[in-house]
A and B are shown apart, each in its own frame.
Chain A
Amino acid sequence: MKAADSADRLGVSVPARDRRRMLRALAALGAITVLRPSLAVAQNRPFLTRPIPSTGEALPVVGLGSWITFNVGNDRVARDSCAEVMRNFFDAGGRMIDSSPMYGSSQDVIGYGLQKLGKPSRAFSADKVWISSGSAGRAQIEKSRQRWAVARFDLVAVHNMLSWQEHLPTLLAMKAAGEIRYVGVTTSEGRRHHEIEEIMRRHSLDFIQVSYSAVERDVEARILPLARDRGMAVVVNRPFREGALIRAVKRQPLPAWASEADCGNWAEFLLKFIVSHPAVVCAIPATTSVAHVRENMGACLGRLPDEAMRRRMAAHVEQL
């Protein structure tokens, strides 16, 4: 891709010829859908979504995680602050919000936010089952649903593969009965990749969730290609390694060539590296900051890096 016109980043319309080239490049990256929600129209940049392979339903390439950030207990002020993050997330075109019974009060706080925002219809609810006992899984999912205050979850995954042999049949049965829409399994921090690979080979999953970033690329070797082969959507957790990665790179200026992928800040740079992998459907950074959620959602706009630039991005971040 050629360098972006700086006027593009300033919100001036992109020449038609450049736009065509940009769309061709995006299509070459694989099944990226370009939509035009309000933010994208306002900024005159395409809004990026990816289809869930099992259904074709489009998801924006950036979601919202809730690990640590939304666990604020009964603190009304902090709950309102989280609701504002959610409001800005939805306003920017976001859909997937991810949580787990493991995350303390996060589910309640998401439920509070959804109620406060009038239960936005675009919300894609992604939760997990996290309990040793297989027979207790269904009850835990129902409790989680009540905490979210949603009619049903879109996605329920087995958290960190805990008792997945017992939970997976339950989830698949719930999906067949229409009680949930998608089924998945998760892991994090590069753990138990061999086991998740086995699950992916033996079972029909809609989603997997793994950790992946410019400095944590183990999944590129086997997990991501396998997900593509098996038609499974990949959700990426901890894209900033709980903030450590972005804190580390923010000390350095963003390289000028980042503009070739329409990256205006480090958050966009790191997220676009992740979501430009053809197997990845969505990354789910967590934040308590409205400014940060806006930055993160910027990764849904404009061009994505091609393979050559992805390699350059990874090398640059590793060098930093």
Chain B
Amino acid sequence: MSEWWTYSLSDFLLFSARTYRRLFELYNVDIWPAQSVALALGCILLAQMWRPRAGQGRYMAAILMVGWIWVAWAFHWRHFLTINWAATYFAYVFAFEALLLFVFGTVLDELTFEPGSVAHRVGFAVVLFAVFLQPLIAPFTGRGWLQAEVFGAAPDPTAVATLGVLLASGRRAQWRLGILPLLWCALSGAVLWTLGAPGDAVVLPIVAVVVLVVARMARASAR
């Protein structure tokens, strides 16, 4: 791309804020009642995180994997692609993250937990936010329940919950599995900012920064 320095994200945004919001509305109507299943999986995830036992990381990774693969197919491929050709690539990225979660989380059982640690508590809070508070942002900001973004069904809360689980889990798996969720937080935040929704835009980057800072602190204290 020549003269690349003259481009900004707005040059690549193909849709308006109204169309993007409406996409969630149509998506939620289309997949109903899948959101209730996703919410139930979110509750199971939180219950397992609250008092983790040996081997439960496999199940948590499996729940996250289901969320990522669902978002790849149902959201990116079937809906977002109707207004954004780049959603094809997002679908592949989300499917790849699902594969990573399956391999490192479910098969190799690399998600281990240290209940009571700061990282575990903050990670739990991040998942709590993704499952119960993020879906409330739309109705509480006047956009209505139909535009709610639910963990396991919408990309942002799914990425946030994944970061929460990774933060609460053992150190080995964190970075391999956390890169794509972190990148998604940055991208989604930038898109929302460009669409003129600064309130929504800061949520994901803040979560990403909190996760990074706490993870670094936990790592430093472990040395």
Contacts and interface: CB of A to CB of B under 8 A. Distances in A.
Interface of A: 67-69, 71-75, 78, 102-105, 189-192, 195, 242, 288
Contacts of A191: 2-3, 6
Contacts of B23: 73, 75
B19 A71 contact: yes
Interface string B1-34: 0110010001101111001001100100000000
Contacts of B3: 191-192
A71 B15 contact: yes
B82 A105 contact: yes
A192 B2 contact: yes
B85 interface: yes
B6 A189 contact: yes
Contact of B26 (A71, A75, A104, A195): A75
Nearest to B12: A102
A242 B10 CA distance: 10
B11 A71 contact: no
B17 to A, nearest CB: 10
Contacts of A288: 16
B83 interface: yes
A103 B13 CA distance: 9
B2 A71 contact: no
B84 interface: yes
A79 B152 CA distance: 29
B interface SS class = loop
Contacts of B10: 242
Nearest to B23: A73
A297 to B, nearest CB: 22
Nearest to B84: A104
A73 B10 CA distance: 19
A105 B22 CA distance: 15
A242 B23 CA distance: 21
A103 B84 CA distance: 8
Contact of A104 (B2, B22, B79, B85): B85
Contact of A189 (B11, B82, B83): B11
Given A189-B11, A191-B6, A192-B2, A69 B16 contact: yes
Of the candidates B3, B19, B23, B26, the one having the most CB atoms from chain A within 10 angstroms of its own CB is: B19
Contacts of B16: 68-69, 71, 288
Given A75-B19, A104-B84, 12 more contacts: A67-B14, A68-B16, A69-B16, A71-B16, A73-B19, A74-B82, A102-B14, A104-B15, A104-B82, A104-B83, A105-B83, A189-B11
B22 A68 contact: no
Of the candidates A69, A105, A192, the one having the most CB atoms from chain B within 10 angstroms of its own CB is: A105
A195 B3 CA distance: 12
B82 A73 contact: yes
B26 A68 contact: no
Contacts of A75: 19, 22-23, 26
Contact of A74 (B2, B11, B13, B26): B26
Given A78-B22, A191-B6, A192-B3, A68 B13 contact: yes
30 contacts: A67-B14, A68-B13, A68-B14, A68-B16, A71-B14, A71-B16, A71-B19, A72-B15, A72-B22, A72-B83, A73-B23, A75-B19, A75-B26, A78-B22, A102-B14, A102-B85, A103-B14, A104-B14, A104-B82, A104-B83, A104-B85, A105-B82, A105-B83, A189-B6, A190-B6, A191-B2, A192-B3, A195-B2, A242-B10, A288-B16
